[in-house]
Amino acid sequence: MISNGNIADVSVGGAILRLVFRWLKMLRFGDYILLHTGFAIQKISEDEALELFRLLNEIEDAMKKLTAE
C-alpha cells in the first residue's frame, strides 16, 4: 500500500487499484478490508477474508458450470 494522505494503491486480485480509506483508522500493510467503489468500508480478519475468497471461488465455479451447460 502506497499511502498518500487518505489514498493508497492496493492489490486486489492482482490488479492495482487506488483506494480511499479516510474512514478507517490504523490500517497496516497486509490488512484485509472490504471495499466498495474505491472506498474501504471495513477491516476484516484474515479468517473472514479467506472465507469470502472461498465463497467467491465457489460462486465463480458454479457460474462457469451453468454457462457451460
Task: Break the chain into its structural domains and give their ranges.
Answer: 2-68
Could you say which of 2.40.30.10, 2.30.42.10, 2.30.30.140, 2.40.37.20 is the CATH number of the domain covering 2-68?
A: 2.30.30.140
Task: Give the pLDDT of residue 25.
Answer: 75
Q: For residue 43, list its beta bridge partners.
A: 33
Q: Which of 37, 41, 9 is nearest to 22 (CA)?
A: 41
pLDDT tens readout for residues 9-67:
888 778 888 888 777 777 788 889 888 888 888 999 999 999 999 999 999 999 999 99
